Chains A and B, each alone.
Chain A
Amino acid sequence: MASDTLTGSPRTDAEISGLDALDIAGREKAPSRLRRGWSALWPKLAALALAVGAWQVVVWTGWKDPWALPGPAVVFADLGHYLVSPALWDGLATTARRAAIGFAAAVAVGLLLGLGVARVKVLRAALGSMITALQTMPSIAWFPLAILLFQLSEQAIFFVVVLGAAPSVANGVIHGVDYVPPLLVRAGRNLGARGPHLYRYVIAPAALPAIVAGLKQGWAFAWRSLMAGELLVVIATRTSIGAQLTYARELSEAPRLLAIMIVILVVGLLVDAAFGAADKAIRRRWGVLDQAGA
């Protein structure tokens, strides 16, 4: 073995660093944050302005009476009052608590179910397609059964929220685990990751993007199910956002009704944006965001 002559010569070192520098030149790019933020923001603002404008135009045409369809100015004025009233924040607290508990339960059920189906062949054969079938069931169709089982109670709402969201979470996990590149699994095993370590070091992180996508979709289902539940299952002592929406309709308070709808929309959007940010952060770390743009 010629172990004496082979230590790296300075010539090779220079060649290597030169080649590296050439190879990765021009891969860095840093457009200013502010600029990127603005170019993402202005189309959204413009679309919002257009929507409000269209709404105002419809009101001006006198298509519906103002007590049924108030104009933006009236609604935003009411929204201003609503935002500083305890009714909103109490209702939001009740609704947010239900959303958090329901979604957390759905995530727990979905993760366990997804892992089970992804790992155990019999479970996959038995439940794989059923999970997808469950996803296609409109959540509001569960309520009659939920009310029979749990009466007009929070349990009825949780029941439907979990049924609505868990299949999406489970599907995310199944999809994520199924599509872990086999090469990474082989590499992980060769590096000494077996059993639970393989899950911790390779499968879980590799499946994470799909799991986050499942969580995001699960949240959308949970939020819809929750709103449907709060409209149907009105518990007099707990004036949730959904209950307030029902009251606003019963009392024909159109501006309040629309203000509540705006709140529901914004809450849904904010949570969705949080999931979107998590998803984007993951994709940036993985280096799959480069071509996707903003």
Chain B
Amino acid sequence: MTPTTTTPRGVTGSVALRGVTKVYGQGGNAVLALDRVSLDVTPGEFVCLVGASGCGKSTLLNLVAGLDRASGGAIELGDGVNPGLMFQEPALFPWLTVEANVEVPLKLRGLPRAERRARVAELLRTVHLADFGRRRPHQLSGGMRQRVALARTLALDTPVLLMDEPFGALDAMTRDILHDELERIWSERGLTVLFVTHNVREAARLADRIILLSSRPGRIIWSTRVDVPRPRRIDSPEIATIAAEVTDRLRTEVGRHGQ
């Protein structure tokens, strides 16, 4: 199911936003969360959306995921594409084992049992959790849970991955390792990734293109390509240079709200 504003005629794996606007509330209390956001993401591209609080980053992902309706504009995805969404919290089902969590989207798609088992095993290997299938989420660390969530999202077999600050709650070392992992999986599977973060270095480490959003309302104010060869390191000088530039622009934007 997709919102009415979605016109599925883009290329598979592409994401196109055409003047997307989102207003919350009505009348005098109406808040403009997103203001005419237009964006073209090509198949296989890794795009990071960076912005301060109130820039409507999460709203944007919800709209693309079809969990909410845009007030105006259109979102174009490939035919039948149902993007996978990941959150800051793993949002695993605590009543299910790791395996059963990953199996949920496969069950909902009506795959036969044997095929589901094979797919779950393959996905858990992909995120290096082959030995933890029988555990329950609460028995794992935060980073491991987020990898289970990634495997569960990959089980959707979707070409488009939407990530809402997925590593924001993790310690730096775990986050670095997950950056490597995500980069590997993204490139192996040719995924299109729309990644929201307020961590500028993270954006520079991961993105093909960084897009800066203003706050209240959310608008695209600047973007840059990151042409650093992969695999990258978050502590490399090239990444630091790009991060510094993004940080300066972000600070200017935040300062605008200080008067």
Contacts and interface: CB of A to CB of B under 8 A. Distances in A.
Contacts of A7: 184, 188
Contacts of A191: 104-105, 108, 152-153, 156
Secondary structure dominating the interface of A? helix
A186 B128 contact: no
B94 interface: yes
A288 B138 CA distance: 8
Given A19-B143, A192-B108, A286-B138, A12 B91 contact: no
A74 to B, nearest CB: 51
A271 B24 CA distance: 50
B141 A187 contact: no
A91 interface: no
Interface residues of A, number: 40
Contact of B230 (A5, A15, A20, A186): A5
A183 interface: yes
Contacts of B104: 188, 191, 193, 201
A189 interface: yes
A13 interface: yes
Nearest to B46: A1
B223 interface: no
A136 interface: no
A6 B93 contact: no
A6 to B, nearest CB: 4
A192 B105 CA distance: 6
B138 to A, nearest CB: 3
Nearest to A23: B141
Interface in B26-76: 44, 62, 65, 67
Interface stretch (A65-73, A202-210, A224-232, A256-264): A202-210
A19 B156 contact: no
B139 A27 contact: yes
Contacts of A194: 1
B174 to A, nearest CB: 6
Contact of A19 (B93, B174, B187): B174
Contact of B139 (A6, A24, A183): A24
Interface in B127-153: 128-129, 132, 136-144, 152-153
7 contacts: A8-B180, A16-B181, A19-B174, A23-B141, A186-B62, A192-B82, A206-B93
Given A8-B180, A202-B93, A206-B95, 9 more contacts: A2-B187, A12-B177, A27-B139, A186-B62, A189-B67, A191-B105, A201-B104, A286-B95, A287-B138
Interface of A: 1-3, 5-8, 12-13, 15-17, 19-20, 23-24, 27, 183-184, 186-194, 197, 201-202, 205-206, 208, 282, 285-288, 290
Across the A-B interface, give the 7 residue pairs with the lowest CB-CB distance, nearest first. Answer: A287-B138, A23-B141, A187-B91, A192-B108, A2-B230, A190-B85, A191-B105
